[in-house]
Homo-oligomer: A and B are copies of this chain.
């Protein structure tokens, strides 16, 4: 019996389903549960451990989504693989070999390039490339000064970020910036709270630095202040523009409570403002960092969905104290982001193109998301629960399904349809949740894609 030695702690801060998920995952990883082995039924485990069926369902579902388990209709759950196998983040479904014949692609590898600035971008890159002194010398470790000046202006204007060029550090993505931050924080970052499931790539960095990860519970407005005080964390990693719980921005009152927690406990908030400016149904909510008077927020911004996915430029705004520490150590960190691309981007921003691009993208994505929601309603009606996450540029669709989301996604792929299996909120043994990114797919392909998804959902009902 695999669940014999599992003991769950109902007094723990870690949700029960998460404890169970981790226990099973570790057993699979350690080989105590072998690939192909049948898992005990949900009812059986629930009775043995004295927990609700929902708890076990949630744990199993998470294990299915991550590829550890597979659900076989009329049979049960089986160990599928000893390692997590699903793409961890909508941005990152990046197989080396593209399966042939993807006709309808709701994956998130691409962005809509209609009305894109690709020609303009080439012009700026070419112009920077032509300056030999730039190409033949090293870049500035903190990021090119010209770019940092533009980022300070942009952050202030479009995201309400309290930024100064000398407190900005540029990097080739959120990960190298988080690595740098973990180094700067040192022992101050013992325990990190994340709104589960959160951004897997950020969690990876925290795990690499061997920090303790505390998955935090939430109510409908996101992480609660009570949870923060109870969890004894030093650092909170958060995307207030798009809470995991609801796919909506966190209300200002909740933000204020979180800042108060940080002030009182000496905690630090890492605000990952992923696509924070990319709201189209309502005005963007300014960044939390701008509300912070006490230097308790590190702000992270990035541009892969705004500019070109291939361009790796992110930035971090440090509070005074950390900026001073960085000032001492900065020269020991090499810049990761391409110097040519940084300077091209600085000039692109300087000439006002990023604002224009934002306006265009908001219009494009408002239309595309509207069309997708309409089509889903038309085909699925009340059979599916549909949730739009604006800044994530995707729609989560939960519908009755006899197989796991992962298996459904595989079946869809065979039929030429790419969707992203995920954990929504409504899935259980009888439901599956898939994520449809509307960033890359053309509007004229949407109807065909939704029709095909509906057909596959019916076949796997």
* Partner-B contacts on A (CB < 8 A): 83-84, 87-88, 91-92, 94, 96, 109-111, 113, 116, 118, 121-122, 125-126, 129-130, 132, 134-142, 145, 171-176, 179-180, 182-183, 186-187, 200-201, 204-205, 207-210, 304, 308-312, 328-329, 331-341
Q: Please tell me how many copies of the chain the complex holds.
A: 2
Question: With A121-B135, A135-B118, A179-B179 in contact, is A96–B140 under 8 Å at CB?
Answer: yes
CB-based contact A183/B208 at 8 Å: yes
12 further A-B pairs in the complex, CB-CB below 8 A; given A122-B126, A183-B204: A113-B136, A125-B125, A135-B311, A136-B310, A172-B336, A173-B335, A175-B333, A186-B208, A204-B333, A208-B209, A209-B210, A312-B334
What chain B residues lie within 8 Å of A332 (beta carbons)?
Answer: 88, 200-201, 204
Q: Which are the 9 A-B pairs with shortest beta-carbon distances? A: A183-B208, A338-B338, A172-B336, A204-B332, A310-B339, A83-B328, A336-B336, A138-B309, A113-B136
Question: With A118-B132, A125-B129, A328-B83 in contact, is A336–B175 under 8 Å at CB?
Answer: yes
CA distance A210 to B211 in the complex (A): 11
Q: Which B residue sits closest to A126, measured CB to CB?
A: B126
CA distance A179 to B332 in the complex (A): 14
What chain B residues lie within 8 Å of A122 (beta carbons)?
Answer: 126, 129-130
Q: How far is the CB of A53 from the nearest CB of chain B, in Å?
A: 31
Question: With A116-B136, A125-B129 in contact, is A173–B334 under 8 Å at CB?
Answer: yes
Question: With A136-B110, A136-B308, A328-B83 in contact, is A338–B341 under 8 Å at CB?
Answer: yes
Question: With A175-B336, A333-B175 in contact, is A310–B208 under 8 Å at CB?
Answer: no
What chain B residues lie within 8 Å of A173 (beta carbons)?
Answer: 334-336
What chain B residues lie within 8 Å of A94 (beta carbons)?
Answer: 138-141, 331
What chain B residues lie within 8 Å of A210 (beta carbons)?
Answer: 186-187, 209
CB-based contact B88/A172 at 8 Å: no
Q: Among the listed B136, B328, B329, B341, which residue makes an inter-chain contact with A111, where contact means beta carbons less than 8 Å apart? A: B136
The 24 sampled A-B contact pairs (Cβ below 8 Å) are A84-B328, A92-B138, A92-B334, A96-B145, A109-B138, A118-B135, A122-B130, A125-B125, A134-B310, A135-B310, A137-B309, A139-B310, A172-B172, A172-B337, A173-B334, A175-B336, A182-B208, A186-B210, A204-B329, A204-B332, A209-B210, A310-B340, A312-B335, A338-B340
Q: How far is the CB of A300 from the nearest CB of chain B, in Å?
A: 13
CB-based contact A91/B140 at 8 Å: no
CA distance A298 to B173 in the complex (A): 24
What chain B residues lie within 8 Å of A335 (beta carbons)?
Answer: 172-173, 312
CA distance A312 to B176 in the complex (A): 14
Q: Which B residue sits closest to A123, measured CB to CB?
A: B129
CB-based contact A334/B135 at 8 Å: no
CB-based contact A207/B183 at 8 Å: yes
Q: Among the listed B129, B175, B207, B338, which residue makes an inter-chain contact with A312, where contact means beta carbons less than 8 Å apart? A: B338
What chain B residues lie within 8 Å of A118 (beta carbons)?
Answer: 132, 135-136
CA distance A183 to B91 in the complex (A): 22
Q: How far is the CB of A202 from the nearest CB of chain B, in Å?
A: 10
CB-based contact A334/B110 at 8 Å: no
What chain B residues lie within 8 Å of A333 (beta carbons)?
Answer: 175, 201, 204
What chain B residues lie within 8 Å of A141 (beta carbons)?
Answer: 92, 94
Q: Which B residue sits closest to A86, measured CB to CB?
A: B331
CB-based contact B331/A87 at 8 Å: yes
Q: Among the listed B88, B142, B336, which residue makes an inter-chain contact with A331, where contact means beta carbons less than 8 Å apart? A: B88
CA distance A337 to B304 in the complex (A): 14
Q: Which B residue sits closest to A310, measured CB to CB?
A: B339
CA distance A201 to B175 in the complex (A): 18
Q: How far is the CB of A410 from the nearest CB of chain B, in Å?
A: 17
CB-based contact B309/A175 at 8 Å: no
What chain B residues lie within 8 Å of A92 (beta carbons)?
Answer: 138, 141, 331, 334
Q: How far is the CB of A108 from the nearest CB of chain B, in Å?
A: 9
Q: Which B residue sits closest to A330, measured CB to CB?
A: B94
Q: Which B residue sits closest to A125, measured CB to CB?
A: B129
Q: How far is the CB of A34 from the nearest CB of chain B, in Å?
A: 17
